[in-house]
Amino acid sequence: MAVRDREVASSIRELSDLPADRSAVLRIGRCLDDALSGIWQTGGRFMKDVRQTTSFGTYLGRMRGSRRLTSRPPPSAIAAAFCAAFIGIFLISIPSLWPDWPLSTKLFLVGSFGASAALLYAAPRSELAQPRNLLLGQLIAAVTGVTAYKLVGSHVGLASALAVACSIAIMQLTGALHPPAGATALIAVLGPAKVHHLGYEYVLSPILVGAVILLVVALLVNNLSASESRHYPVTWW
């Protein structure tokens, strides 16, 4: 392109010196034609690259995936995860079995505990299953969910979206992302009424108490295995 520009400039100078020289005019025309052709070719290649990177087909292609990320665990690991999950969830549910217990009004099963159990007992080496993520993530989500309900609880959709979105953002900022905690925040908004009645007590019981029970079971059961892939935790904090 620089050579063509110099040729165009030379032709223009020739035209100023010899205004009646038709050959100079023709040279200028050819140079301009070449220059415009180069610009169109360059622009065409650029637009083609843009279409290739932003086309709908490329966008859909990103959803195909590539390969299976995990393999099926051995039967011993499956059995260990089953036993740990059974023990953990059953221990959390015990106060609910006796309605006369004072704690039965506060300590009860929360849906997010099932997801936490899946992480702690089936994927104990995952970063998302470590004690910091479990405890801090659940606490953050519970506080955020209760706060969202108190602020805009009359609009369930807005409160739910605000609770989950803020919980995720704060967990990421604090390095304590625990995906099941998103359900903890949502439950604080949706209820049942027993949850709404607890207010911020919901943070301590059932959330903190239940998370601690799951953690203790993970420490006791996961480390019974001789396999290092079952040892828990990888890091405390």
**What is the value of pTM for the model shown?**
0.72
CB neighbour list of residue 133: distance below 8 Å, 6 or more residues apart:
127, 171, 176, 177, 178
pLDDT at position 228:
87
Mean pLDDT, rounded, for 141-155: 96
Q: Please determine, for residue 161, whether its predicted confidence score (pLDDT) is greater than 70.
A: yes
Closest C-alpha to 26, from 7, 5, 1: 7
pLDDT at position 15:
47
Q: Please determine, for residue 58, whether its predicted confidence score (pLDDT) is greater than 90.
A: no
Q: Please determine, for residue 98, whether its predicted confidence score (pLDDT) is greater than 80.
A: no
**15 vs 108 pLDDT, higher one:** 108
pLDDT at position 18:
46
Output the six-digit token pair for 88.
């953990």
pLDDT at position 33:
64
Residue 191 sits at φ, ψ, to 5 deg, of 95, -165
Q: What does the pLDDT look like over 166-206, one tens digit per residue?
A: 999 999 999 999 999 999 999 999 988 889 999 999 999 89
| Average confidence score pLDDT of the chain | 83
